[in-house]
């Protein structure tokens, strides 16, 4: 249903721009997959800039959707300019909202990274440690996921258009997994990061019997030491024992698993605290 009168919060039909930083642009692609629901949103806003979807561009906009990670000094300046222009800034996807695999490169020195990636041209390219948009500017709304979960995207758009705040969910994926009555993938012999990962995806991976890879990042107060113990077989019941015996994960492998999406800020397994006080 489209709404003819302007959205109260803006006093006029707000203008929307999409921007991408270092990423795979999968989140924008997901948003385009909304299809009919996207048309519904377009009844409430005018899109003025969206490189992946249209040729027109504008420097005037009220709402900025920003996807990707900040990886150069130019990116830093660019995101600051966007923040200045936009009344509302929404980060799209884990790359922008909290950290994603772009931050994997931060484990090495930037010189080494440039040499490996650009070879002889290394000296002509500048790069800085990768960071989410939220590490540089404040975001009014954050949509997590790699890519974003579309139901959550709709919820955030709705909150934004009606001038309400939206708190990202702060429960583990296990909650959604159980409420959907899915089989725990540990029972199927797979190692799952669901117990420490922020939910909001409706446990889409475990729905298909795949383990959670943690793409939405750690929830607040994630009990990492417990996860390490579980994965290292120091604590495990019959079901878990069967799983971890099969996987025989070394410390490095466990760290690598947890690191895929959790390298911002610097992720230190040894520093992680078990309690949430």
Partner 1 sequence: MGRELVMTREGAQSFFGRLIEEGPVMGPRERISQPGFVMFDWLDSAGQLRLKYTTTTIPPKKAFFPPRQPLFEFESSQPPTITAVQEATAFTLVGVHPCDLAALEMLDDAYAQEPAEACWPAARARARVIGVDCLPDEYCFCFGFGTCYGREGADLFLTPIGRGYLVEVLTEAGGGMLRLSDVEDATDADREQAAAFRRAKSERMTASIDASPAEFADILEEDDFGELWREVASRCYSCGSCNTTCPTCFCFDIKDEFDLGLTGGRRIRSWDSCQLQEFALVAGGHNFRRIRWQRVRHRWHRKFLYLYRDFGRPYCTGCGRCSRACTADINIVDVSNEIIGRARGRA
Order of strands, edge to edge, in the sheet holding 15-20?
46-50, 15-20, 63-67, 88-92, 141-143
The interface with ligand SF4 within residues 49-78 (CB under 6 A) comprises 67-68
Place of tokens 């996207």: 38
Distance of CA 8 to the CA centre of its chain: 29
Nearest CA among 207, 165, 217, 162 for reference residue 183: 207
Q: How far is it, in rounded angstroms, from Cα 94 to Cα 166?
A: 16
173 lies in the binding site for ligand SF4 (CB under 6 A): yes
Q: What's the min distance (Å) between Cβ of 44 and ligand SF4? A: 24
157 lies in the binding site for partner 1 (CB under 8 A): yes
Q: Of 230, 249, 254, 258, which one interacts with partner 1 (CB under 8 A)?
A: 230
- Find the part of the chain contacting partner 1 (CB under 8 A) among 17-25, 73-81, 111-119, 220-228: 220-228
174 lies in the binding site for ligand SF4 (CB under 6 A): yes
17 lies in the binding site for partner 1 (CB under 8 A): no
If the CB atoms of residues 22 and 157 are measured against partner 1, the closer one turns out to be 157
Q: Of 180, 245, 256, 266, which one interacts with partner 1 (CB under 8 A)?
A: 180
Task: Name the token pair of 194.
Answer: 């669901």
Using alpha carbons only, how large is the chain's radius of gyration in Å?
A: 20
94 lies in the binding site for ligand SF4 (CB under 6 A): yes
269 lies in the binding site for partner 1 (CB under 8 A): no
- Find the part of the chain contacting partner 1 (CB under 8 A) among 36-44, 71-79, 97-105, 130-138: 36-44
The interface with ligand SF4 within residues 74-93 (CB under 6 A) comprises 93
Q: Of 186, 261, 264, 267, which one interacts with partner 1 (CB under 8 A)?
A: 186
Nearest CA among 93, 32, 90 for reference residue 63: 90
Residue 58 in contact with residue 33, Cβ under 8 Å? Answer: no
Q: How far is it, in rounded angstroms, from Cα 257 to Cα 260?
A: 6
Q: How far is it, in rounded angstroms, from Cα 46 to Cα 9?
A: 15
Cβ-Cβ contacts under 8 Å for 68 (sequence gap 6 or more): 20, 21, 22, 23, 25, 93, 95, 96, 102, 133
Which of partner 1, ligand SF4, none lies near 72, with the C-beta cut-off 5 to 8 A by kind? none
- Reported as type and span, the H/E element at residue 67 is strand 63-67
Binding site for ligand SF4 (CB under 6 A): 23-27, 67-68, 93-95, 100, 145-147, 173-174, 177-178, 184-186, 192, 194-195, 197, 201, 203-206, 212-216
Binding site for partner 1 (CB under 8 A): 1-3, 7, 40-41, 43-44, 154-155, 157-158, 161-162, 170-172, 174-175, 178-184, 186-188, 192, 194-196, 208-209, 220-223, 225-227, 229-230, 235-240, 274-277
């Amino acid at each position: 249903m489209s709404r003819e009168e302007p959205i109260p919060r803006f006093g006029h039909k707000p203008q929307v721009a999409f921007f991408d930083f270092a990423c795979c642009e999968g989140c924008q692609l997901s948003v385009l997959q909304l299809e009919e629901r996207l048309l519904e949103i377009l009844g409430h806003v005018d899109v003025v800039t969206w490189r992946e979807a249209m040729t027109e561009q504008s420097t005037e906009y009220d709402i900025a959707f920003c996807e990707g990670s900040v990886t150069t000094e130019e990116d830093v300046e660019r995101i600051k300019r966007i923040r200045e222009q936009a009344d509302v800034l929404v980060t799209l996807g884990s790359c922008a909202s909290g950290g994603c695999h772009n931050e994997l490169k931060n484990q090495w020195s930037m010189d080494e990274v440039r040499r490996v990636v650009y070879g002889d041209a290394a000296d002509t390219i500048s790069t800085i440690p990768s960071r989410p948009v939220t590490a540089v500017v404040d975001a009014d709304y954050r949509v997590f996921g790699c890519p974003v979960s579309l139901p959550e995207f709709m919820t955030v758009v709705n909150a934004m258009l009606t001038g309400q705040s939206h708190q990202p969910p702060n429960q583990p994926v296990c909650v959604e997994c159980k409420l959907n009555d899915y089989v725990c993938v540990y029972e199927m012999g797979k190692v799952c990061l669901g117990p420490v990962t922020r939910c909001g995806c409706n446990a889409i991976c475990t729905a298909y019997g795949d383990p959670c890879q943690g793409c939405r990042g750690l929830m607040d107060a994630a009990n990492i030491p417990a996860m390490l113990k579980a994965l290292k077989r120091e604590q495990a019941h019959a079901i878990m024992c069967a799983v971890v015996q099969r996987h025989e994960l070394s410390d490095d492998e466990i760290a690598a698993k947890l690191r895929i999406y959790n390298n911002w800020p610097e992720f230190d397994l040894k520093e992680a605290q078990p309690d949430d006080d």
